[in-house]
Structure 1
Amino acid sequence: MRVLIAAFAHTSHFHGLVPLAGALRAAGHDVRVASQPGFVDSITGAGLTAVPVGEDHRLLEAMQQKGAEIQRYSANIDLSHPEVFDWDYVFNLFDLSVPYFYSVINDESFVRELVGYARQWQPDLVLWEPYTFAGAIAARACGAAHARLMGASDLNAYFRRAFLERLRERPAGQRPDPLRDWLAGAAEQYGVAYDEELVVGQWTVDMLPERFRLDLSLPTVPVRYVPYNGRTVVPDWLKTAATRRRVCLTTGSTGTSFTADPAVFHRYLQVLAQIDAEIVVTTDAAALREVGPLPKNVRAVGFAPLDVLLESCSAVIHHGGFGTWSTALYHGVPQVMVPHVWDTLLRAQQTAAEGAGLYLREGAVSAEGLRDSVARVLAEPSFLNQARRLRDEARAESSPQDVVPVLEELTGRHRDVRTAASTAQVPVA
């Protein structure tokens, strides 16, 4: 079958999709990945066929304009207190996300060219990154089956459900729905009628282990997370076994408050270096050294392939991002997290509840508190034992290769052959 993967240009979101794309290709299916033109090298670097569509998105500009306001509704999300997600909260979340995020990465040119390509190529299945709603529109426009590829906790569906519940409680005539209005307008240009399937797909392929998934009663195909870091070369210092315990500190693409200022970060490293371990920091090494010399047991590297690095580590300190968290889980490494944005606090709470790590609230963490948390994780065997238990559970999930027959069966069930045939010659609006 033909499989079209639609993903907006974002490295960490794309990396999680690569192993399944590779499994589909290995099974003999024709796989192509559609994204903005500036992302072509990342796609082809993964050994996949790229389809550049639309113009490069301008998400960074949008975030500079409204990022701080959006974070009011997308940071420090604590699902243990659902009462805070009232009408004002969920409405503002979508009212800001639509113009400054969703419609930016799914702009008119991206949707138009993706639909045009889908109608011409006629995929059987469209798999789309969960913010790339253009993939759902394109699938419906050409009659393909379609599903989300979820590489995070499904707060998208969680908050959509909360929004619709609050919306039904509103007085008649006072029921605005920013997501529906935008998505319906984008879809109707191509003869696609709006329904909630455009938001959550016909089903979801979920890389999160079952224990950590939100109970949303959506059709789900679980698949094991397999680490992929892009083009990877093992550096010389990782070719030999470590001579002492190793702790990785990585800030990911979002970072945390204490890593933003090199001088502040330098002080944190001075305190962390009091631990009897090698501290490997994946950050701008030159900026840190401009502040002053680093302790002898701190190794600052600009980049290290996380999959290779973490298998040698006794603990990892990070911001809670899905890729870092999942790779640590995959290797059974205890985690110390400083979460902040979107679903990072949820995963930190879940990991701590399972006894496989600790977390500290972003903005209220001291260098000494971080040091003590890492020292505790290293000293108490229960953290390693629990991390290995979760590792074994995660690796028992269906592999990407195992999932391919399931996707074949679902595609046959959901693909609208009549729509595909009728739209094959329809010009793009």
Structure 2
Amino acid sequence: MRILFTAAPGYGLMLPIVPLIWAARAAGHEVLVATTGEMTEVGARAGLPVVDVYPERDIWELLLRHVGKSEPDEDAPELTEEHRLAMRSANPFGLFTVTMTEGSIEAGRAFGPDLVVFTSDHVAGRLTAQALGVPALEVGNRISWSMRDADWREERGNLVDDEVTTLIREKLGIPAELPRVVARIDPRAPSMRGLVADETDPRDGVPWWPMRFVPFNGGAVLPEWALHRPERPRVCVTLGTVVPIMNGTSNLSVVIEALGGMDVEVVLAAGKADLSELGALPDNVHSVGFLPLSGFLPTCSLIVHHGGSGTTAAPLHYGVPQLVLPAFADNPMSAERVVERGVGLSHDPTTVDVDTVRELAGRLLTEPAFAAAAEEVSAEMAAQPAPTAVIERVTAALS
């Protein structure tokens, strides 16, 4: 079988489905990944065949320069009506639909897939399946919500065309009939779904299948210390990849000052972010730049982060309590789920201070209920079907 995987150009948007792509390839299927931007290189480094569906253009530069403005810059006359319509919204997914749909369809026509896999937040993937007239598999790539949630369905669900999607569909001559969706995949632990499990979707009778979340954050040569649990608690601190671009690293100063005064070992994984405004780091803080969380989280006792979906899911997999300082987008939803399940605590990053961070971190490191709840969720996730089982199930459904 030939499977086209489609994903939006963000670490938290594509990386969660990489293990599923590996599973398909290991099962002997031909695969192709349709994405753009930095994710083309990330996918290639993960050993995957990738096609850039919006080549030679920086989609994130376009997004940061225009999205959310009442009217895009006048110095961009090349922007179409659908570009401008998408950019007036603060939601970047409309822009991904505008820029990535045509290239994804062209790649699909050249590849000739028997199945299109699209993530729940990537309408371009759903439109590609519609245009090609092939079955689809929808995969949730967030740990805090999915297409299953009522609020997502009503506000951002991709089964109903909004104005931007309608313009794209009509422009490209895509049929209005939705593709046959074989199943919808929910990677969340049962106790983190926030609703009662259903066998089928009440909207259209499509079955919901669970899948084990397998963390993938990229590869690296691990330093020797990452393999060993230290004598004092190790605390990971990260802001992910998008927050430093959008908000800078100012929120880190409070966290670093707070943890710098505690008897802990701090691993600051800030990627390519400019840390110069933080000044000299405390002696117990070790800045590692980019280091995959999965490489050292197993030896951590706590993670402090922004609430990104992938960053929330990884410590759940490893049973590590979390302190979430949610930034934007779905970050507050992740924080809510973490607190509701008892696997961590949260605080508004705009009002948090040094004493509060120390208090919250101290509770998470010393009160056993948080670690116990995190271990429970980890065990739940481990009991769900692996990506290989999902691929087998899809193959059987299409045979």
User: Could you say which TM-score interval applies, normalised by the shorter chain?
Assistant: 0.7 to 0.9
The farther-off stretch of 110-119 and 333-342 is 110-119
1:207 to 183, 187, 190: 187
How many angstroms apart in 1 are the aligned matches of 2:390 and 2:138?
14
Deviation at 1:96, TM superposition (A): 6.3
Aligned residue number for residue 17 of structure 1: 17
Aligned residue number for residue 135 of structure 2: 145
Which structure ranks higher in relative contact order (CA pairs < 8 Å, sequence separation ≥ 6)? 1
* Contact 2:131–2:175 (Cα < 8 Å) also in 1: no
Aligned residue number for residue 186 of structure 1: 168
CA 1:256/1:378 → structure 2, altered by over 3 Å: closer, same or farther?
Answer: farther
Aligned residue number for residue 252 of structure 1: 240
Question: What is the letter of the counterpart of residue 58 of structure 1?
Answer: I
Q: Partner of 1:16: helix, strand, or coil? A: helix
* Contact 1:151–1:208 (Cα < 8 Å) also in 2: no
**Residues 78-123 of structure 1: CA distance to partner in whole angstroms, max 9, x if unpaired?**
xxxxxxxxxxxxxxxx976769633422335x32332233233321
Q: Partner of 2:117: helix, strand, or coil? A: strand
Gaps of 5+ in 1: 70-93, 166-177, 413-429
**Residues 35-71 of structure 1: CA distance to partner in whole angstroms, max 9, x if unpaired?**
22654321111111112223335233333434488xx
Aligned residue number for residue 305 of structure 2: 318
Aligned residue number for residue 95 of structure 2: 104
1:219-298 aligned within 5 A: 219-255=207-243, 260-261=248-249, 265-283=252-270, 288=275, 292-298=279-285
Question: What is the letter of the counterpart of residue 331 of structure 2?
Answer: T
The farther-off stretch of 132-141 and 2-11 is 132-141
CA 1:285/1:407 → structure 2, altered by over 3 Å: closer, same or farther?
Answer: closer
Question: How much identity, in percent, do the aligned residues show?
Answer: 27
Question: What is the letter of the counterpart of residue 125 of structure 1?
Answer: L
Deviation at 1:202, TM superposition (A): 5.6
Aligned residue number for residue 381 of structure 1: 368
* Contact 1:59–1:100 (Cα < 8 Å) also in 2: no
Query: What is the root-mean-square deviation of aligned Cα atoms in Å?
Result: 3.3
* Contact 1:280–1:300 (Cα < 8 Å) also in 2: yes
Aligned residue number for residue 347 of structure 2: 360
Aligned residue number for residue 423 of structure 1: none
The farther-off stretch of 374-383 and 232-241 is 232-241
Question: What is the letter of the counterpart of residue 247 of structure 1?
Answer: V
Q: Partner of 2:162: helix, strand, or coil? A: helix
How many angstroms apart in 1 are the aligned matches of 2:41 and 2:51?
11
* Contact 1:124–1:411 (Cα < 8 Å) also in 2: no
* Contact 2:307–2:325 (Cα < 8 Å) also in 1: yes
The farther-off stretch of 12-21 and 57-66 is 57-66
How many angstroms apart in 2 are the aligned matches of 1:140 and 1:286?
39
Q: Which has the higher helix share?
A: 1
1:157-172 aligned within 5 A: 158-159=150-151, 161-163=153-155
Q: Partner of 1:4: helix, strand, or coil? A: strand
How many angstroms apart in 1 are the aligned matches of 2:156 and 2:38?
36
Question: What is the letter of the counterpart of residue 154 of structure 2?
Answer: A
The farther-off stretch of 245-254 and 312-321 is 245-254
**Residues 287-332 of structure 1: CA distance to partner in whole angstroms, max 9, x if unpaired?**
5467543222121221222012110001111111111111100100
The farther-off stretch of 284-293 and 183-192 is 284-293
CA 1:409/1:190 → structure 2, altered by over 3 Å: closer, same or farther?
Answer: farther
Aligned residue number for residue 169 of structure 1: none
1:154 to 138, 143, 146: 146
Q: Partner of 1:3: helix, strand, or coil? A: strand
* Contact 2:8–2:35 (Cα < 8 Å) also in 1: yes
CA 1:358/1:99 → structure 2, altered by over 3 Å: closer, same or farther?
Answer: closer
Deviation at 1:212, TM superposition (A): 2.1
1:44-55 aligned within 5 A: 44-55=44-55
1:36 aligns with 2:51: no
Equivalent residues, number? 373
The farther-off stretch of 156-165 and 214-223 is 156-165
Deviation at 1:387, TM superposition (A): 0.8
1:319-338 aligned within 5 A: 319-338=306-325
1:16-95 aligned within 5 A: 16-36=16-36, 39-55=39-55, 56-67=57-68
2:112 to 122, 130, 146: 122
Aligned residue number for residue 79 of structure 2: none
How many angstroms apart in 1 are the aligned matches of 2:321 and 2:16?
21
Aligned residue number for residue 131 of structure 1: 121
How many angstroms apart in 2 are the aligned matches of 1:296 and 1:164?
45
Deviation at 1:27, TM superposition (A): 0.9
Provide the TM-score with structure 1 as the length reference: 0.77
How many angstroms apart in 2 are the aligned matches of 1:265 and 1:398?
37
CA 1:286/1:341 → structure 2, altered by over 3 Å: closer, same or farther?
Answer: closer
How many angstroms apart in 2 are the aligned matches of 1:67 and 1:405?
42
How many angstroms apart in 2 are the aligned matches of 1:112 and 1:291?
43
Deviation at 1:384, TM superposition (A): 0.8
How many angstroms apart in 1 are the aligned matches of 2:181 and 2:345?
34
